[in-house]
């Protein structure tokens, strides 16, 4: 095993004064057993309770703890991003500060990364028979998201994952403002493996994900990973166009069979104009939608592609590192 490897742990925390001390103890117990050096980055996401003081207390007694404080509550994904940007580790693990991402899985995640995976994802498995609003909404959400999006996101995926230096650098390089990290991690590619885990109860306190925050996350996910909503106009336009055609054929059939007198005067032309104008408007809106979509993709400034080190290069760099020791 390589010595002098640095492991970074990124923990976003919003009003977690009750859970943090317990979580920190669990985390320390696991990290102290590992042969690697570590740093823990706590990101205080504008908490209004004692979270800030508590993490400063950890930092005062442990030089491996670093802290970041937001000026207000910017949200979980922003807090994660801040921590990930500051992580210096060869491996970086992001996890919640409430104990729902059990620190005891860390050694297994490291083992999987050592066996050649760039990213170790985790997937929540809820205990059988337990039905909750959260579980149902999450399942429905991933089903819809994966239907409308080009990027496939792991259902039940959590922001509990390990990334090696190369994949994390690729993720950090994505500069977009609306961040749905689970989708972005899947978008950058790389070799990943899934580690399922059962979600334990919170150590203390209540969920910090209000319904409003969940809806915002879901809309960030849909609108930044799917262009489908923009194509709705175009599809509606096509539908109206088909309706206009059907109407024309219907009217024509009356003329051909010599029953044109049974048509109400003015009905056919009025109907036809309505359908055609509807179709034209919708189609034009659809075109504008497509252009907006292209503009949107451009302004996201995502790279056109991301490379990864070839396995052969990796082996040779490891060999040279070993000979340096």
122 binds Mg ion (CB under 5 A): no
207 binds ligand UDP (CB under 6 A): yes
Euclidean distance between CA atoms 146 and 202, whole angstroms:
28
14 binds ligand UDP (CB under 6 A): yes
Applying CB under 6 A, among 161, 179, 182, 208 the residue interacting with ligand UDP is: 208
User: 16 is in the binding site of which of Mg ion, ligand UDP, none (Cβ under 5 to 8 A by kind)?
Assistant: ligand UDP
100 binds Mg ion (CB under 5 A): yes
Answer for the pair 35, 4: CB distance below 8 angstroms, yes or no: no
Q: Exposure pattern of 55-81 as b/e (b: 16+ CB <10 Å)?
A: bebbeeeeebbbbbebeebbbbbbbbb
Applying CB under 6 A, among 73, 123, 137, 146 the residue interacting with ligand UDP is: 73
- Cβ at position 25, least distance to ligand UDP in Å: 16
Size of the site for ligand UDP (CB under 6 A): 17
Instruction: Convert residues 44-63 into a mask of x (bound to ligand UDP by CB under 6 A) and - (unbound).
Output: -x------------------
Answer for the pair 129, 186: CB distance below 8 angstroms, yes or no: no
325: burial class by Cβ within 10 Å (0-12, 13-18, 19+)? exposed
Between strands 65-69 and 161-164, the pairing is: unpaired
User: 65 is in the binding site of which of Mg ion, ligand UDP, none (Cβ under 5 to 8 A by kind)?
Assistant: none
Count of residues making up the chain: 325
Stretch that binds ligand UDP, among 75-83, 166-174, 181-189, 299-307 (CB under 6 A): 75-83
Nearer to ligand UDP, 3 or 130 (CB): 130
Q: What is the CA radius of gyration of the chain?
A: 27
DSSP annotation of 202 reads: P
| Contact positions vs ligand UDP (CB under 6 A) | 12-14, 16, 45, 73, 75-76, 79, 96-98, 100, 207-209, 213
């Amino acid at each position: 095993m390589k010595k002098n490897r640095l492991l970074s742990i990124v923990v976003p925390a919003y009003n977690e004064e009750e859970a943090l001390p317990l979580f920190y103890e669990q985390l320390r117990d696991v990290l102290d057993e590992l042969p690697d050096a570590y740093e823990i980055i706590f990101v205080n996401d504008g908490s209004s309770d004692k979270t800030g003081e508590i993490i400063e207390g950890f930092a005062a007694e442990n030089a491996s703890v670093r802290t970041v404080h937001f000026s207000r509550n910017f949200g979980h994904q922003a807090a994660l991003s801040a921590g990930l940007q500051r992580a210096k580790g060869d491996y970086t693990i992001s996890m919640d500060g409430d104990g729902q991402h059990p620190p005891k899985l860390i050694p297994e995640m490291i083992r999987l990364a050592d066996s050649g995976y760039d990213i170790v994802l985790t997937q929540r498995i809820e205990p059988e028979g337990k039905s909750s609003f959260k579980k149902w909404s999450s399942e429905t959400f991933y089903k819809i998201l994966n239907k409308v999006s080009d990027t496939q996101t792991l259902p039940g995926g959590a922001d509990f994952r390990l990334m090696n230096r190369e994949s994390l650098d690729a993720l950090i390089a994505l500069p977009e403002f609306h961040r749905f990290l689970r989708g972005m991690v899947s978008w950058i590619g790389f070799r990943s493996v899934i580690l399922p885990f059962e979600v334990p109860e919170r150590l203390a306190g209540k969920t910090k994900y209000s319904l409003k925050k969940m809806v915002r996350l879901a809309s960030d996910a849909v609108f930044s990973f799917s262009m489908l909503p923009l194509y709705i106009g175009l599809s509606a336009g096509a539908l109206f166009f088909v309706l206009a055609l059907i109407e024309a054929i219907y009217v024509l059939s009356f003329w051909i069979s010599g029953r044109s007198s049974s048509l109400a005067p003015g009905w056919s032309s009025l109907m036809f104009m309505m359908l055609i104008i509807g179709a034209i408007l919708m189609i034009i809106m659809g075109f504008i939608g497509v252009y907006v979509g292209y503009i949107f993709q451009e302004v996201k400034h995502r790279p056109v592609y991301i490379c990864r080190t070839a396995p052969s290069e990796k082996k040779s760099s490891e060999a040279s590192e070993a000979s340096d020791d």
